[in-house]
Amino acid sequence: MKLSQNDTLLFIGDSITDCGRVRPVGEGGFGQLGSGYVAQVDALLSAVYPQLNIRVLNTGIGGNTVRHLKERWESDVLDLKPDWLSIMIGTNDVWRQFDHPLNPDQHVYLDEYETTLRELVQTTRPKLKGLVLMTPYYLDPNVNDPMRATMDVYGAVVKKVAEEFDAIFVDTQAAFDALSEHVYLSSLATNWDRVHPGSRGHMTLAREFLKAVGFSW
């Protein structure tokens, strides 16, 4: 297990991370961390490793892109002084290019995405014990689907940045693709939007995160 006694673990991202968490910072009691993978990670850590007393925080905000993360990085990451940080961002950076194609002001193209993610990681990595970078994903096994193909390119950037800065890389798309051998992937999403996961999808994200940090059942 890579996390240590009394570590603070912070999750930041978009609506997939947010999941209705409380403001300004989700932490602790029932519903405070939201209803998604962050709450599941917290429950499993506290149930299996109660002796470690790990503090879990959630500062995800629905609709965010990496551009939004940069704007709030100091207050929602640096000021909270986490020991471990998990970043999952990129879904909206890609999605806005498809659902709002005529509004380029909302689009975060690949160059800006990579530059901004690298800047945030470079600034923060020396202050952390550990960093986890999770890819964005699209719940469609068809790699030729335009949005899926674009999401894969952004995921490759996450992998590259993780390798550059000694971060733990979590390939969420690969985890969902493995499930596609047994289930129709869109059925894992709420409203069949192929982006927002239901309980099974969130447990997949929680499982992949925990596997990456050495969680042992």
CB atoms within 10 A of CB 44: 17
CB atoms within 10 A of CB 137: 29
| Digit-coded pLDDT (tens) for 170-208 | 999 999 999 999 999 989 998 889 999 999 999 999 999
Least Cα distance to 164 among 131, 192, 138, 205 occurs for 131
**Strand ranges (DSSP E) for 129-216?**
130-134, 168-170
> Locate tokens 């879990």: which residue?
56
Q: Is 193 one of the annotated active-site residues of the chain?
A: yes
| Digit-coded pLDDT (tens) for 152-171 | 999 999 999 999 999 999 99
Report the pLDDT value the prediction gives residue 103, as an integer from 0 to 100.
Answer: 87
Query: CA 76 to CA 57: how far, in whole Å?
Result: 10
Q: Could you say which of 7, 93, 196, 202 is catalytic?
A: 196
Report the pLDDT value the prediction gives residue 106, as an integer from 0 to 100.
Answer: 87
Residue 93 burial by Cβ neighbours in a 10 Å radius (0-12, 13-18, 19+): buried
Give all strands of the β-sheet with 26-27 in edge-to-edge order.
26-27, 55-58, 8-13, 84-88, 130-134, 168-170
Q: Which H or E run contains 204?
A: helix 199-212
Q: Could you say which of 75, 99, 100, 193 is catalytic?
A: 193
Q: Could you say which of 7, 15, 18, 140 is catalytic?
A: 15
Instruction: Name the phi and psi angles at 55, rounded to 5.
Output: -95, 125
| Digit-coded pLDDT (tens) for 32-89 | 999 999 999 999 999 999 999 999 999 999 999 999 999 999 999 999 999 999 999 9
pLDDT band of 29, cuts 50, 70, 90? confident
